């Protein structure tokens, strides 16, 4: 049968009724440490999930569980016991009826483990549980970075440029992905609320930060052979194998300086959010470089995000590739990317002026010239002689120009947007904007440390995406609770007769 739609107001009424019924006969007591759970779920309307999944339930059969209550229970599980599994969570709701009531269930009538996984299956818009086929070539380890903190290099030179050229040619073509159903619900019911509360920053000129983080799923790859070479005495062969986690592979963790098996999670975050709120997650193979992950993630996000316009993208030096600048400028987005200095030599020009690896002109006296503004009409930067004082006095012992104003030099953003960005890297505006890049690292920390993302014992990409999106919803609910905390104190007095 189709699920019955239960409004959020009906859930709120049943919550008060059950708490009064099962706790102290109409005058229940709630501990302070549990109040935030009630408050977060009280203000979060999840009823749309029932309408979204209506078509994915059969017309006949037993009455299904309320999808909103199933999702609410899963979010409660992530808030309270993220280190255990679904089986243990079902047992926890049986032992602690309080969790069942907050979820929206009647104590003693708890859904089973299989019911949860039937619900998860309907959140995934594909028949298979993974993005790739289980049958693949034997996977090899990637190269590791030579220095601490250095990313593993891309597999082939020019890969980022070829990928950017391809996505620009096919930018209008949107490919449906199995997790689109999850993002649709997340955007329409979660991101929309955060945007209305002003927790994402200015959505008409949104600033987005991006960063990748390793997700360890297993100690080593698990696979089965498709041949009998081992029985014939051949220790190694190149025949395909059947992998239990086909979307995972081995990557290099530059922070911990070790190899790991799993995913490379690339997260786009609202850079101006006071709560470091996530916007779009994408699971890539562990061996994939940050630059490749960003190109794919940003294009998918731009095709799906409908709440505003992205104005700035803030990235670290791992994304410092000319092709990424070309992609962002093609999308009318201002890039704020830290410079990855590849050389200590100055670039030679036809004139006697050289360019430092940081994109600053060097005068014939080997001094960095002073920036003197940006000409928006011609898209060029103006640089002045560093020895000029009071606009007319030149203190250089060997001046290279007889002009009273001093030597000037222009650099054009169109010539090299990487070295000559519209906002210079040494300007206060650039530094203030770039400070917000760490919001992506703080968001990743919340997911991995606070919500124990890697504690999920999943073998499918489907379940990893469901866990990630669930944690992202919890992050936004935490922000709503902190933002509305004073208003919720009044609500607490109205709803509950006693508080401890």
- What number of CA atoms fall less than 13 Å from residue 481's CA on the CB side? 16
Q: What is the pLDDT along the chain (500 residues), one digit of tens a residue?
A: 899 999 999 999 998 888 878 776 544 556 667 788 999 999 999 999 999 999 999 988 889 999 999 999 999 999 999 999 999 999 999 998 899 999 999 998 999 999 999 999 999 999 999 999 999 888 877 776 656 666 666 667 789 999 999 999 987 788 899 999 999 999 999 999 999 999 999 999 999 999 999 999 988 888 888 888 888 888 778 889 999 999 999 988 888 888 899 999 999 999 999 999 999 999 999 999 999 999 999 999 999 999 999 999 999 988 988 899 999 999 999 999 998 866 545 566 667 787 777 778 888 777 888 887 777 777 777 888 877 777 667 778 777 777 777 787 877 777 678 877 888 887 889 899 999 999 999 999 999 999 999 999 899 999 999 999 999 999 999 999 999 988 887 777 666 554 33
User: Quick one: DSSP state of residue 236?
Assistant: -
Rounded-to-integer distance, Cα 316 and Cα 336, Å: 8
Residues in the chain: 500
Neighbours of 481 (CB within 10 A): 18
For 229, 238, 240, 243, the CA distances from 232, given in Å and listed in that order, are 5, 14, 17, 22
Rounded-to-integer distance, Cα 39 and Cα 481, Å: 7
Residues facing 285 on adjacent strands: 263
Rounded-to-integer distance, Cα 79 and Cα 73, Å: 10
- According to DSSP, the β-strands at 29-30 and 498-499 are parallel
Phi, psi of 67 (to 5 degrees): -60, -35
Report pTM: 0.88
> In 405-497, which residue ranges form alpha helices assigned H by DSSP?
428-434, 439-445, 461-483, 485-495
């Amino acid at each position: 049968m189709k699920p019955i739609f239960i409004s959020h107001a009906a859930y709120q009424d049943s919550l008060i009724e059950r708490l009064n019924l099962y706790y102290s006969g109409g005058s229940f007591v709630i501990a302070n440490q549990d109040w935030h759970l009630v408050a977060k779920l009280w203000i979060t309307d999840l009823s749309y999930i029932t309408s979204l999944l209506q078509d994915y339930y059969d017309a006949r059969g037993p009455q299904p569980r309320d999808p909103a209550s199933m999702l609410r229970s899963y979010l409660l599980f992530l808030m309270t016991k993220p280190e255990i599994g679904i089986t243990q969570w079902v047992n926890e709701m049986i032992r602690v009826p309080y969790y069942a009531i907050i979820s929206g269930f009647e104590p003693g009538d708890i859904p089973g483990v299989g019911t949860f996984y039937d619900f998860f299956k309907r959140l995934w818009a594909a028949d298979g549980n993974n993005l790739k086929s289980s049958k693949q070539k034997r996977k090899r380890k990637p190269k590791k970075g030579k220095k601490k903190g250095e990313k593993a290099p891309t597999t082939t030179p020019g890969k980022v440029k070829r990928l950017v050229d391809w996505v620009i040619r096919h930018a209008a073509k949107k490919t449906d992905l199995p997790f689109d159903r999850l993002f649709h619900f997340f955007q329409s019911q979660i991101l929309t609320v955060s945007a209305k509360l002003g927790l994402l920053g200015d959505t008409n000129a949104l600033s987005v930060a991006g960063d990748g983080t390793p997700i360890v799923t297993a100690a080593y790859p698990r696979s089965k052979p498709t041949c009998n070479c081992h029985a014939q005495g051949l220790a190694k062969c190149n025949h395909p194998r059947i992998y239990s986690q086909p979307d995972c592979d081995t990557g290099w963790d530059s922070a911990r300086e070790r190899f790991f098996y799993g995913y490379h999670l690339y997260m786009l975050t609202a850079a101006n959010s006071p709560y470091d709120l996530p916007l779009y997650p994408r699971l890539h193979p562990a061996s994939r470089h940050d630059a490749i992950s960003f190109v794919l993630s940003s294009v998918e996000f731009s095709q799906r995000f409908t709440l505003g316009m992205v104005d700035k993208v803030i990235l670290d030096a791992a994304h410092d590739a000319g092709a990424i600048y070309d992609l962002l400028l093609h999308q009318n987005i201002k890039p704020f990317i830290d410079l990855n200095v590849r050389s200590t030599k100055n670039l030679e020009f036809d004139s006697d002026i050289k360019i430092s690896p940081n994109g600053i002109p060097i005068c014939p006296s080997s001094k960095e010239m002073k920036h003197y503004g940006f000409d928006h009409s011609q898209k060029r930067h103006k640089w002045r002689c560093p020895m000029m004082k009071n606009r007319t006095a030149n203190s250089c012992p060997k001046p290279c120009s007889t002009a009273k104003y001093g030597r000037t030099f222009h650099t054009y953003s169109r010539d090299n947007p990487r070295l000559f960005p519209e906002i210079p890297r040494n300007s206060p505006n650039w530094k203030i904007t770039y400070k917000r890049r760490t919001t992506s690292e703080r968001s990743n920390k919340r997911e991995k440390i606070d919500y124990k993302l890697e504690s999920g014992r999943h073998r499918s990409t489907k379940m990893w995406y469901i866990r990630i999106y669930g944690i992202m919803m919890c992050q936004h609910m935490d922000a709503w609770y902190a933002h509305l905390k004073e208003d919720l104190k009044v609500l607490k007095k109205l709803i509950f007769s006693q508080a401890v």
